[in-house]
Structures are given as structure tokens and as C-alpha cells.
């Protein structure tokens, strides 16, 4: 009964979101606020209904109710309980329900944010949000319904795949979805502004927390996915420029640009049209990402045909919202009042450059991801666009972008003094140069690009420190006063500095991979293999049995300068009753660096094929991303986001000199 | 019935929630939700923050001016608000009517098409009685035991049928194979393996299964299961006549009380159906035709005992036509109609069948 009530709630949500979509639009044409206010309870009701539906599905998974097709296909009564629950969104239907749940949750939050968003804007935003929710609810109901029943019900489910029972895999999709869906709110705000024909700093204030939330979660989601691929796939890589990864990177790049252009709008009332365009673009790329991952286009253009209704439905959603969004933009954007002017050399100018570079970077990823698909669809030729392409196109755009970060952080609004800014940053340049030289001296050479990366990373870290130092009046006031001032700086200033420092740490981690080593060897007992400063000695290859699998384990002793510092085990596992083999990489974390062992095949000669990687500072890659997200979260807690204060903001940013 | 009551309550709650803002006077709503109210609220927040020392006096001054400017603009905008009174009232009634009708109609129409309100929940624990409840745990225990001692053939042999019953055919086949490898070949183990492999292939007897059955037959020429599946394989290869021949021989050798007779008869009936009339006429006269007749009689007896099987009735009618006994076919058709009177879909199917077999050309054949 709970299951059917959940299903019915889903159809009710469909009706509620239709009302949420239509009423405010009608109300806007006749200027009737009471009519528009219907959107608020409709959004709350839709959220309550979808929550009920999701709870019903979760309950069915928890109790192994095999009268649901979805549960039969994706669960099994012997799964550990926690994986029964995560299995709810571990499949297409359930994950789309989760998507809709997050969508309506955000809608409900907008409905309740009475103190942050003026009512007319809020109601129109809810209308657009209602349209998106309606489309996706219909998608779930008609093409991906998790509530379809089986009668008679089988006694057992079909999925007990041990590889998919992984916590990283369970957390990754919700993070990513919160990111994707969060951008739908920015999109809804943008369209609402276009419909209303008015956009100002209040709009930017209202939309910024949503963009920031989405960005934080997308950052975490991408980092999580990257780490999962690193430890689970056993290839030793952390980013593969795989289309699935690119599908999440594109909205991230556009979203980062949106985040920064919103700041310009909020502080200076400028870049309005551009910000609106970016908001539409970011959500379009989120939708595109969903389409690529969910329709099966990625595995092959031809597998798209195996489930045509699903793919065609998402494609229709894509066309309506992207096409509709841009059409509305073309029609209404010229009506928007243009905002403040600024000199090219100013923080606004730096942020415009940041936006252009980010959007260009996004375009290269877009081309690298979609061109092979288009080519295959048109000519049937399969080409692979991988790392060389992205290294040649993405890096030359990313590098100046990174170099620009500390300058944009330090330069004044409206009319900046480039020379002064550069002078203020001398310490950061010096630190970057010193960093690159020290590394050069220590490792005796290395690729130019990697040294450049090290320099950039250190420069970014130092730039963030210099920024905080100057804002706190460093050099002009006593150190004690400076510390007090630094502590009193707004959280958004600290958030900016921390997030940019996070970028620096990630850049350092990436650059350091130039010095990683990969050794392929066939080893016998007692053999020694070198990896970085460490030596691995194969002690034993032995079989071991655990609860439901057997594995062949290769145990290495790790030595440094002849001193034993630990043991490291890699294994090849076989889940006996299913006859399914997996490879478990052995990872030893040594400070920020890692030793990584992946077993190959046993050789006829008696040895064991192994791959041994030394990954210096590899943790920095993900640590930096987490720090970026933390910076975003800190900025989110800044209470000033809720009050419009452009005048005060300017006064605060130019230090009293 | 209860479920519809729940649906009604849910619908009522959803509709009432949506109608609530409409029931309030517009001035009250505007006072609470208008843009001017929003900026007045901000002004109040600012004063509170200033008193709490969160905002400096200088900042507060600038903020107050900024918020004031926006408040003025918003207040001007609200002056242009639509007129209160008759049109607004009518509009609100229309909106209520739309919400009141759209939400339940949309929900009911879609749910009616997609939902299964009559199906009860079937959580696994509730469907298992005490004895069976432990099957999962027992399987896990045996699996763990086998992971430690993969050489225990008995363990595999115990586990395999449990897998088979649970629908994990691939796992069952692997378990039977292990038992076979460790304990050696017996006809029973070979046929069990073949059966599991066949089940995994969705009922197709593939090369691997076939090899197992042939090996079993070599060890025990009378093995009924092996003979049955080899006949099925022959049928799948397209040689229906030979398959039927094999099955009939099997039936002839079978003890009268063999539990699997029914399965063989059903397969035979299915084969004869797919062959149609041509297959029957191509058969030599004599015992084989008699055997088919016996099979049809069996089906008729079963349907007399339990007449709810529409497909069975159709097969019976068709069989009589094939055997040339139109009178009996009509009789069976009439019986089927009376048995399935409550089921319009089956009645349609029977009518279509009757037309197809031209059983209703006489006076009783008025369109139903």
C-alpha cells in the first residue's frame, strides 16, 4: 500500500508542478499577487509528494519488496543493508527519482526564502522551476517509472554485484545531482528576470547562494568521482578525459564563470545580460550532461537506439528548455537596463577575462566530447579524442586563467591600478619563482610545463595569503591590529582566499604527477622494485580466503634507504560462487604521496606481473578540490549575502590609504 | 478500498494547500508578500544588525540609503497593481476551479494508466515462513564455507538447487559444475547441470547443456530427464517431427504414475501446435496419433476440473479442429465461454479463435 501511495504521490506532484508553472505566469499578465502566491504551496506540496514517493521506494528496497520490477532488477535480499538503501539511486529509475526529489527540494527552499527574494521574482522563479519539475516528473513517470509492479513477485532479486557495493559509488551521484539541479535554480532565476524584464543587484544577491551551493556540491561530486576511478579501476590515473567526466566538468566550468559574473553584478550592477546568458548556459550543460549519461549515447551512438523513448524524451526536454531559454533571452534581453561602467583594468575587467577564459575552456571540452559522437553518428567513423587533445587545447587556456586569479583578487573595483596591483603581488611572484627553482634544484630538472605548474601553484597559494594580508592592512598597522582585522574580515573574503588557495593546491598536485613513475615488472619472491625514493620487495604471493571471496595476495615490504617502513598488499580477488574476478589495488599513503600497486597476471615462469606507481603529492589533487568546496561553503555562510550593500562593499574593498 | 481512501485524503490535502492563498484577501497577501514588504523587512533586519554591532554605523548608513531607494521603486510598482473587486474575484474562482480539477484529474488519469492499486505489498520477510526465512542465512553460510573449502563437493551439491530455486541460474550452473568436477560424473549430476545451463539460457538447450545430457544418456540410456531435454533440443533445431517422436517414445516408456508425464505431454502439445495441421497429417497413422489423442483428452480432463485457463481452452479447441472433430471443438468452445464468462478479454480471444477456425458459420454464430 505504501508503494502505491508513493506512486500516486508522484502523479499528484505532476499536477501540483503544473499548477506551480501556470498560475504565476497567468498572474504576471494580470498583476495579481494573490494568484501568483499559489506557486508557494504548490512547490511545497510537490516536494512533500516526491518525498513520500522516494520514501516509499526506499522502504521497498529496505524490505526487499520484489513485487517492484526496479527492486528485483537492482537489489538482492542478501545485500548488506546499507547497500540496499544506496541501491535506491544506484540505477537509472531510482536516480532519476532522486534527481526530481532534489529538484523539488530546491523549489521548496526557494518558496520558503521569503526574506531573501522579493515576492514577484520568487513567484516567477517558482513558475520556471515548476516547468522543469513537471518535465522531469513526466520523464520519470512515463519512461523511467520505478513503481512498476510484478505479479507474481519473484522470491529473489537479481543484483548482487560486489563491485558496485562501494561507498564512494554510493555518495558520488547525490553530490553530483545536487550540483546539476542547483543550477536549475539559477536558470529559473534568470528566466524569471527575463520575464519580469528587470534585473538588479537584488537579483544577484538572491541567486548567488544557489549558484554557490550548486558549485560546492558539483566540486565535491567531481572530486569524489575522480578518486573512486583512481582507487577502484586500478589504472593509477585520476582523470581520464572520459566523456562521463567531461559531462560533469562542462557545467562546472560554466558554473564557475557564473559564480564570478554574479559577483560583478552584485557589487557593480554590470554584466547583467552576460550573467543571464551564463545561467542559461550552465543549466543547459547540466541537462546535456544528464542526457549524455542517461540516454546511453556515450557507450555508443548506436545504443541510443536500444532505448529510444528514454533518449528521445530527454532530448525533447533539452530542446524545450535550452531552446526556450535562449529564445526568451533573445527576445527579452535587449529590454534589460544596462548597468554600471568600468575601465578595462579593474576587478570587473579581470572577472570578464576570467569568464571568457572559462567559457573558452568549457567550449574546448565541449568540442572534445561531442565531436567524436557527432562524427560517429554521421559517418560511423570511431575516433578517440583523449589526453593529447585536451593537453594541447585545455592547458593553454587554463594557465593564463590561473595566472589571473591573484590579480583579480587584489585589483580594485571600477578603475584599478595595474602597476600597484602587480607591486602588491611581488611577494607571490617571488614565491612562485622560488618554488619552481627549488623543485628544479631538488629533482635536477623536469618537464618545463610541470615546473611552470609548480610555480603557478605556489604563486596561487602566496597570492591568497597576500590578499588577506593586504585586506587586513598588513604593513601599515601593527601586527596585533592586523591579526584582529584579519579575523574580522567578511567570511566571503576568507572564502575567496581559501577557495583560490585550494586551486593552487590542486595545481601543485597535478604538476607533481610529472614526476610520478610507473614500473611494469614480473617479480618473484625476494625481487626488488624501485618506485620513487622507495624500494618494494616482494615477500610472498599467497592465497587467502575471506567471507565470500578468495584472493591471491602479493605482499610487498616497503623500504626506504634500507629501512623497513611498512608492508603493502595488492590482490586479485575472485567472488567464488559468482565466479567474478576483481583487482584490488594496494595503496600506501606516505604523507601527501602514494605508492600504488596493481597486480597483473601470474606468469608461466612462476613470477607475478605487477604495475607499481609512485605518485608524489597526488593527494593534493583531491585535497585542493575539497578546500575549494570549503571556501565556497564559508562564503555561503556570509550573512551579508542576504542584504544588498554595494556602496558599503566598495568602501570596504578599497583600503583606507 | 482503504487505498482509495488514502488517495482521496492525499488529493484533498494537495488541493486544499493550493487553494489556501486564494481564500485570503488580496490586501493581506500583498502586505505579506509584496516587494515593498520585502524591503521593509530588510530595513528592519538592518536596524537589528546595527544594534547588535554586526554592521558598522557607516555601512548601515549606506545600506539604509540603498534599501530606501529600492523600497521607493517597489512601492511605485505596487501602485500599478491590478484592480481589486469583480474581475479579480472571477479570476480567483477560475483559478480555484482549474486547480481543483487539474490536480486530481491528472493524477488519477496517469495513476490509473500506470499504477496497480490492487497489488498488495510483498516485503520479503513477510512472504517467508519461519523455515524458509533461514534460507538466505543458510546460503550465506554455505557460500562462506565454500570460499574457505572450495574442494567440498557436497557443499556445492547442496547449494546448487537452492540457487536454482532462487532463480540464480548462472550461479546454480557453476555450483553443479563444481560438484561434478569434484565428485565425478553421475547421470543425475550431469542432467542437473544441463538443466541449470538451459535455465540460464532462458530455456534454450545450448551446446554445453546438450553435451551434458548426451553424456548422461551414455551413462544411463533410460535417463528420462536427459531424453526429454534432448528432444526439446531437437525441436529447437527445427526437427519437430523427430522431437515429437522422441517424446512419444519417452511417454511410452514412462511409468504411469511418473510425476513428469504432464511436462512431457505439455511439450508435446506445444510442438504439435507449432507444427499445426501439416505436422499431424505428415505423421504416420497409428499409435502416434493415438498418443496425441490421449494427450488432448488429458487436457480436456484438466480443464474440466479447473476451467480458468483461457490459453488451455484455446489449445483444446484448436486441437479438436486439427483432429477433425469439429463437433467436439464447438462443445469445448461453448464450455470455455461459460467458464470464462466473467473475463471479457478471454471472451474476445475465444471469439477471434472461433472466427479464425470458422467454427461459427452456422445459425448460432451471431456476433457476440
Domain boundary assignment for chain B: 2-114, 135-222
What pLDDT does A98 receive?
94
pLDDT tens for each residue of A370-384 = 888 888 888 878 787
Closest residue in B to A155 (Cα) is B166
What pLDDT does A644 receive?
41
pLDDT tens for each residue of B75-115 = 776 655 555 567 778 888 888 888 889 899 999 999 999 88
Q: How confident is the model at residue A557 (pLDDT cuts 50, 70, 90)?
A: very high
What pLDDT does B239 receive?
80
A152: preceding bond cis by omega (within 30 degrees): yes
Q: What is the C-alpha R_g of chain A?
A: 27
pLDDT tens for each residue of A426-455 = 888 999 999 888 888 888 777 888 999 999
Mean pLDDT of the residues in chain B:
78
- In whole angstroms, what is the distance from residue A475 CA to residue A383 CA? 57
Which residues does chain B have within 8 Å of residue A1's beta carbon, measured at their own beta carbons?
Answer: 2-3, 6, 120-121
Which one of B33, B122, B168 has the shortest CB-CB distance to A65?
A: B122
Does residue A257 carry a pLDDT above 90? yes
Give just the sign of the alpha carbon dihedral B169, B175, B180, B183: negative
Q: How confident is the model at residue B143 (pLDDT cuts 50, 70, 90)?
A: confident
Which residues does chain B have within 8 Å of residue A108's beta carbon, measured at their own beta carbons?
Answer: none
What pLDDT does B296 receive?
80
Give just the sign of the alpha carbon dihedral A630, A634, A637, A643: negative
Does residue A653 carry a pLDDT above 50? no
What pLDDT does B279 receive?
47
Specify whether the CB–CB gap between B182 and B153 falls below 8 A: yes
What pLDDT does A326 receive?
94
- B 123-142 residues inside an 8 A Cβ radius of A: 123-127, 136, 139-140
Which one of B17, B26, B65 has the shortest CB-CB distance to A45?
A: B17
Does residue A181 carry a pLDDT above 60? yes
Contact A14 B136 (CB under 8 A): no
Contact B107 A44 (CB under 8 A): no
Q: How confident is the model at residue A628 (pLDDT cuts 50, 70, 90)?
A: very high
B218 close to A (CB below 8 A): no
Which one of B14, B30, B59 has the shortest CB-CB distance to A16?
A: B14
Which residues does chain A have within 8 Å of residue B83's beta carbon, measured at their own beta carbons?
Answer: none
Contact B171 A578 (CB under 8 A): yes
Which residues does chain B have within 8 Å of residue A11's beta carbon, measured at their own beta carbons?
Answer: 106-108, 110-111, 114-115
Contact A41 B70 (CB under 8 A): no
Q: Which residue has the higher pLDDT, A108 or A152?
A: A108
- Of A275-279, A431-435, B298-302, where does mean pLDDT reach its minimum? B298-302
C-alpha cell at A2: 505504501
Q: Which of A145, A106, A143 is nearest to A128 (CA)?
A: A106
Q: How many CB atoms lie within 10 A of CB B37?
A: 18
- In whole angstroms, what is the distance from residue A639 CA to residue A650 CA? 17
Q: Which distant-in-sequence residues (6+ apart) come within 8 Å of A240 by Cβ?
A: A229, A386, A387
Does residue A268 carry a pLDDT above 80? no
C-alpha cell at A204: 544577484
Contact A37 B33 (CB under 8 A): yes
Closest residue in B to A578 (Cα) is B171
Does residue A655 carry a pLDDT above 60? no
Closest residue in A to B155 (Cα) is A577
Q: Which of A322, A327, A337 is nearest to A197 (CA)?
A: A337
B263 close to A (CB below 8 A): no
Q: Which of A645, A656, A654, A647 is nearest to A413 (CA)?
A: A654
- In whole angstroms, what is the distance from residue A185 CA to residue A124 CA? 11
- Give whole-number Cα distances, B95 to A22, A187, B20, B83, in Å: 10, 27, 12, 17
How is the beta sheet containing A580-584 ordered, strand by strand? Answer: A528-531, A534-545, A550-560, A563-575, A580-584
Closest residue in A to B97 (Cα) is A19
What pLDDT does A608 receive?
83
Question: How many degrees, rounded to 5, is the angle at CA A397 between CA A621 and CA A403?
Answer: 70
- In whole angstroms, what is the distance from residue A46 CA to residue A52 CA? 10
Which residues does chain B have within 8 Å of residue A77's beta carbon, measured at their own beta carbons?
Answer: 124, 136
Chain B interface, mutation test: which of A6, A10, A12, most B Cβ atoms within 10 Å?
A12
Which one of A4, A550, A647 has the shortest CB-CB distance to B116?
A: A4
Which one of B29, B58, B106 has the shortest CB-CB distance to A33?
A: B29
Q: Which distant-in-sequence residues (6+ apart) come within 8 Å of A133 by Cβ?
A: A13, A17, A20, A46, A100, A103, A104, A107
- In whole angstroms, what is the distance from residue A174 CA to residue A180 CA? 10
Which one of B13, B30, B166 has the shortest CB-CB distance to A156?
A: B166
What average pLDDT score do residues B52-75 get? 77
Specify whether the CB–CB gap between A180 and A284 falls below 8 A: no
Question: How many degrees, rounded to 5, is the angle at CA A336 between CA A332 and CA A339?
Answer: 155
| HEC profile of B157-203 | HHHHHHHHHHCCHHHHHHHHHHHHHHHCCCHHHHHHHHHHHHHHCCC
- Of A524-533, B128-137, B267-276, where does mean pLDDT reach its minimum? B128-137
Chain A interface, mutation test: which of B42, B121, B127, most A Cβ atoms within 10 Å?
B121
What's phi and psi for A610, nearest 5 deg? -135, 155
Does residue A651 carry a pLDDT above 70? no
- Domain-by-domain residue ranges, chain A? 1-165, 167-388, 425-514+625-653, 517-615
Task: Tell how far CA B25 is from the center of its chain.
Answer: 51
Which one of B18, B106, B165 has the shortest CB-CB distance to A38?
A: B18
Does residue B274 carry a pLDDT above 70? no
B54 close to A (CB below 8 A): yes
Does residue A654 carry a pLDDT above 50? no
Burial A423-461 (b: 16+ CB within 10 A, else e): ebbeebbebbeebbeebbeeeeebeeebbbbbbbbbbbb
Which residues does chain B have within 8 Å of residue A139's beta carbon, measured at their own beta carbons?
Answer: none
Complex ipTM = 0.81
Which residues does chain A have within 8 Å of residue B146's beta carbon, measured at their own beta carbons?
Answer: 576-577
What pLDDT does B367 receive?
41
Closest residue in A to B55 (Cα) is A640
Which residues does chain B have within 8 Å of residue A64's beta carbon, measured at their own beta carbons?
Answer: 123-125
Q: How confident is the model at residue A604 (pLDDT cuts 50, 70, 90)?
A: confident
Does residue A321 carry a pLDDT above 70? yes
Contact B99 A119 (CB under 8 A): no
Which one of B35, B119, B144 has the shortest CB-CB distance to A119?
A: B35
- B 297-336 residues inside an 8 A Cβ radius of A: none
- In whole angstroms, what is the distance from residue B155 CA to residue B280 CA? 48
Which residues does chain B have within 8 Å of residue A22's beta carbon, measured at their own beta carbons?
Answer: 98
**Top-ranked range on mean pLDDT: pick from A156-165, A416-425, A549-558:** A549-558
What average pLDDT score do residues A30-38 get? 82
Task: Tell how far CA B297 is from the center of its chain.
Answer: 33
What pLDDT does A362 receive?
94
Q: Which residue has the higher pLDDT, A555 or B145?
A: A555
DSSP annotation of A66: T
Q: How far does A62 lie from chain B, in Å, by closest CA?
A: 9
Does residue A547 carry a pLDDT above 70? no
Specify whether the CB–CB gap between A66 and A157 falls below 8 A: yes
Specify whether the CB–CB gap between A12 and B11 falls below 8 A: yes
What pLDDT does B85 receive?
62
Burial class (CB in 10 A: 0-12, 13-18, 19+), A131: buried
Which residues does chain B have within 8 Å of residue A67's beta carbon, measured at their own beta carbons?
Answer: 119-122
Closest residue in A to B123 (Cα) is A65
Contact B10 A8 (CB under 8 A): yes
Q: How confident is the model at residue A7 (pLDDT cuts 50, 70, 90)?
A: very high
Q: How confident is the model at residue A639 (pLDDT cuts 50, 70, 90)?
A: low
Contact B38 A77 (CB under 8 A): no
- In whole angstroms, what is the distance from residue B107 CA to residue A7 CA? 10
What pLDDT does A648 receive?
39
B99 close to A (CB below 8 A): yes
pLDDT tens for each residue of A473-517 = 877 788 888 888 888 888 888 999 999 999 999 999 999 998 888
Helix, strand, coil: what percent of chain B each, to 5? 80, 0, 20
Give just the sign of the alpha carbon dihedral A456, A459, A460, A461: positive
- In whole angstroms, what is the distance from residue A427 CA to residue A99 CA? 46
Q: What is the dihedral of CA B198, B201, B207, B209, to 10 degrees?
A: -20
Does residue B362 carry a pLDDT above 60? no
- B 29-48 residues inside an 8 A Cβ radius of A: 29-30, 33-35, 37-39, 41-42, 45-46
Contact B143 A11 (CB under 8 A): no
Closest residue in B to A40 (Cα) is B18
C-alpha cell at A472: 587586513
C-alpha cell at A334: 535587449
What pLDDT does B364 receive?
42
What percentage of chain A has pLDDT greater than the value 90? 42
What pLDDT does B132 receive?
47
Q: How far does A617 lie from chain B, in Å, by closest CA?
A: 39
Q: How confident is the model at residue B309 (pLDDT cuts 50, 70, 90)?
A: confident
Burial A568-596 (b: 16+ CB within 10 A, else e): bbbbbbbbbbbeeeebbbbbbebebbbbb
Q: How confident is the model at residue A228 (pLDDT cuts 50, 70, 90)?
A: confident
| HEC profile of A231-244 | HHHCCCCCCCCCHH
What pLDDT does A486 receive?
86
C-alpha cell at A233: 579501476
pLDDT tens for each residue of B191-238 = 999 988 888 887 788 888 888 999 998 988 888 888 889 888 888 887
* Topology annotation, domain B135-222: 1.25.40
Closest residue in A to B139 (Cα) is A78
Amino acid at each position: 500500500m505504501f508503494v502505491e501511495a508513493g506512486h500516486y504521490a508522484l502523479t499528484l506532484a505532476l499536477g501540483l508542478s503544473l499548477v506551480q508553472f501556470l498560475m504565476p505566469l497567468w498572474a504576471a499578465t494580470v498583476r495579481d499577487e494573490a494568484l501568483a502566491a499559489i506557486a508557494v504551496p504548490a512547490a511545497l506540496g510537490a516536494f512533500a509528494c516526491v518525498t513520500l514517493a522516494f520514501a516509499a521506494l526506499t522502504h521497498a528496497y529496505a524490505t526487499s519488496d520484489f513485487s517492484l520490477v526496479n527492486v528485483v532488477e537492482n537489489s538482492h535480499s542478501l545485500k548488506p543493508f546499507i547497500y540496499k538503501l544506496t541501491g535506491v539511486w544506484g540505477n537509472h529509475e531510482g536516480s532519476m527519482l532522486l534527481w526530481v526529489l532534489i529538484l523539488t527540494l530546491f523549489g521548496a527552499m526557494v518558496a520558503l526564502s521569503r526574506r531573501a527574494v522579493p515576492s514577484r521574482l520568487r513567484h516567477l522563479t517558482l513558475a520556471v522551476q515548476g516547468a522543469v519539475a513537471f518535465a522531469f516528473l513526466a520523464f520519470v513517470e512515463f519512461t523511467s517509472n520505478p513503481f512498476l509492479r510484478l505479479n507474481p513477485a519473484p522470491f529473489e532479486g537479481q543484483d548482487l554485484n560486489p563491485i558496485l557495493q562501494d561507498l564512494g559509488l554510493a555518495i558520488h551521484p547525490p553530490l553530483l545531482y545536487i550540483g546539476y539541479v542547483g543550477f536549475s535554480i539559477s536558470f529559473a532565476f534568470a528566466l524569471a528576470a527575463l520575464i519580469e524584464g528587470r534585473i538588479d543587484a537584488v537579483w544577484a544577491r538572491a541567486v548567488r547562494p544557489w549558484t554557490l551551493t550548486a558549485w560546492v556540491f558539483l566540486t565535491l561530486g567531481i572530486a569524489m568521482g575522480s578518486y573512486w576511478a583512481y582507487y577502484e579501476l586500478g589504472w593509477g590515473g585520476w582523470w581520464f578525459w572520459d566523456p562521463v567526466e567531461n559531462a560533469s566538468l562542462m557545467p562546472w566550468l560554466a558554473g564557475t564563470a557564473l559564480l564570478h559574473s554574479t559577483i560583478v553584478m552584485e557589487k557593480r550592477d554590470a554584466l547583467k545580460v552576460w550573467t543571464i546568458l551564463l545561467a542559461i548556459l550552465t543549466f543547459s550543460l547540466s541537462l546535456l550532461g544528464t542526457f549524455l549519461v542517461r540516454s546511453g549515447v556515450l557507450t555508443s551512438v548506436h545504443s541510443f537506439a536500444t532505448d529510444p523513448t528514454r533518449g528521445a524524451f530527454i532530448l525533447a526536454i533539452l530542446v524545450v528548455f535550452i531552446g526556450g531559454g535562449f529564445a526568451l533571452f533573445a527576445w527579452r534581453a535587449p529590454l534589460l537596463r544596462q548597468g554600471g561602467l568600468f575601465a578595462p583594468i579593474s576587478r570587473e575587467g579581470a572577472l570578464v577575462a576570467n569568464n571568457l577564459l572559462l567559457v573558452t575552456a568549457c567550449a574546448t571540452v565541449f568540442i572534445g566530447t561531442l565531436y567524436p559522437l557527432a562524427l560517429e553518428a554521421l559517418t560511423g567513423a570511431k575516433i578517440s579524442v583523449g589526453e593529447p587533445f585536451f593537453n594541447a587545447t585545455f592547458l593553454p587556456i587554463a594557465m593564463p586563467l590561473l595566472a589571473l586569479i591573484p590579480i583579480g583578487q587584489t585589483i580594485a573595483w571600477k578603475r584599478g591600478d595595474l602597476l600597484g596591483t602587480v607591486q602588491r603581488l611581488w611577494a607571490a611572484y617571488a614565491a612562485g619563482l622560488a618554488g619552481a627553482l627549488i623543485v628544479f634544484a631538488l629533482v635536477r630538472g623536469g618537464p618545463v610545463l610541470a615546473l611552470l605548474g609548480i610555480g603557478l601553484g605556489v604563486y596561487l597559494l602566496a597570492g591568497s595569503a597576500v590578499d588577506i594580508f593586504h585586506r587586513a592592512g598588513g604593513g601599515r598597522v601593527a601586527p596585533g591590529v592586523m591579526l584582529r582585522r584579519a579575523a574580522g574580515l567578511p567570511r566571503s573574503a576568507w572564502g575567496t582566499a581559501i577557495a583560490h588557495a585550494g586551486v593552487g593546491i590542486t595545481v601543485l598536485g597535478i604538476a607533481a604527477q610529472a614526476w610520478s613513475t610507473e614500473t611494469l615488472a614480473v617479480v618473484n619472491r625476494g625481487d626488488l622494485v624501485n618506485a620513487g625514493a622507495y624500494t618494494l620487495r616482494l615477500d610472498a604471493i599467497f592465497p587467502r580466503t575471506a567471507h565470500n571471496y578468495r584472493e591471491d595476495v602479493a605482499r610487498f615490504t616497503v623500504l626506504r634507504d634500507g629501512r623497513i617502513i611498512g608492508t603493502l598488499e595488492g590482490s586479485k580477488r575472485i567472488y567464488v560462487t559468482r565466479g567474478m574476478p576483481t583487482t584490488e589495488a594496494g595503496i600506501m599513503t606516505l604523507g601527501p604521496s602514494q605508492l600504488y600497486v596493481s597486480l597483473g597476471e601470474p606468469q608461466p615462469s612462476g613470477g607475478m606481473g605487477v604495475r607499481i606507481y609512485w605518485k608524489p603529492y597526488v593527494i593534493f589533487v583531491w585535497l585542493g578540490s575539497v578546500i575549494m568546496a570549503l571556501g565556497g561553503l564559508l562564503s555561503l555562510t556570509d550573512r551579508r549575502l542576504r542584504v544588498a550593500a554595494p556602496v558599503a562593499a566598495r568602501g570596504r574593498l578599497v583600503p583606507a590609504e | 478500498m482503504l487505498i482509495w481512501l488514502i488517495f482521496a485524503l492525499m488529493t484533498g490535502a494537495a488541493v486544499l494547500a493550493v487553494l489556501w492563498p486564494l481564500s485570503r484577501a488580496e490586501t493581506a497577501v500583498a502586505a505579506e508578500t509584496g516587494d515593498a514588504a520585502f524591503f521593509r523587512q530588510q530595513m528592519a533586519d538592518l536596524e537589528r544588525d546595527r544594534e547588535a554591532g554586526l554592521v558598522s554605523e557607516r555601512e548601515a548608513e549606506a545600506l539604509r540609503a540603498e534599501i530606501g531607494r529600492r523600497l521607493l521603486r517597489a512601492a511605485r510598482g505596487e501602485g500599478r497593481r491590478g484592480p481589486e473587486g469583480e474581475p479579480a474575484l472571477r479570476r480567483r474562482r477560475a483559478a480555484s476551479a482549474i486547480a481543483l480539477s487539474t490536480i486530481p484529474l491528472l493524477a488519477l488519469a496517469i495513476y490509473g494508466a500506470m499504477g496497480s492499486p490492487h497489488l498488495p505489498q510483498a516485503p520479503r520477510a513477510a512472504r517467508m515462513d519461519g523455515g524458509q526465512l533461514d534460507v538466505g542465512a543458510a546460503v550465506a553460510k554455505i557460500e562462506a564455507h565454500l570460499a574457505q573449502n572450495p574442494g567440498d563437493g557436497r557443499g556445492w551439491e547442496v547449494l546448487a538447487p537452492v540457487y536454482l530455486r532462487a532463480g540464480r541460474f548462472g550461479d546454480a550452473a557453476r555450483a553443479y559444475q563444481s560438484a561434478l568436477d569434484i565428485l565425478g560424473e553421475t547421470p543425475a549430476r550431469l542432467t542437473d547441470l544441463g538443466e541449470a545451463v538451459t535455465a540460464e539460457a532462458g530455456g534454450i538447450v545450448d551446446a554445453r547443456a546438450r553435451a551434458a545430457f548426451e553424456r548422461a544418456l551414455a551413462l544411463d540410456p533410460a535417463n528420462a530427464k536427459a531424453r526429454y531435454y534432448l528432444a526439446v533440443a531437437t525441436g529447437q533445431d527445427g526437427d519437430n517431427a523427430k522431437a515429437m517422436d522422441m517424446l512419444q517414445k519417452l511417454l511410452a516408456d514412462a511409468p504411469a504414475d511418473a510425476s513428469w508425464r504432464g511436462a512431457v505431454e505439455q511439450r508435446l502439445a506445444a510442438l504439435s501446435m507449432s507444427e499445426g495441421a501439416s505436422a499431424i497429417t505428415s505423421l504416420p497413422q497409428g499409435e502416434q496419433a493415438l498418443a496425441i489423442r490421449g494427450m488432448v483428452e488429458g487436457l480436456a480432463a484438466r480443464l474440466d476440473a479447473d476451467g480458468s485457463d483461457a490459453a488451455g481452452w484455446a489449445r483444446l479447441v484448436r486441437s479438436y479442429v486439427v483432429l477433425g472433430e469439429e463437433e467436439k471443438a464447438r462443445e469445448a468452445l461453448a464450455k470455455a465461454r461459460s467458464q470464462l464468462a466473467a473475463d471479457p478479454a478471454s471472451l474476445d480471444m475465444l471469439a477471434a479463435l472461433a472466427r479464425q477456425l470458422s467454427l461459427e458459420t452456422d445459425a448460432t454464430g451471431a456476433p457476440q
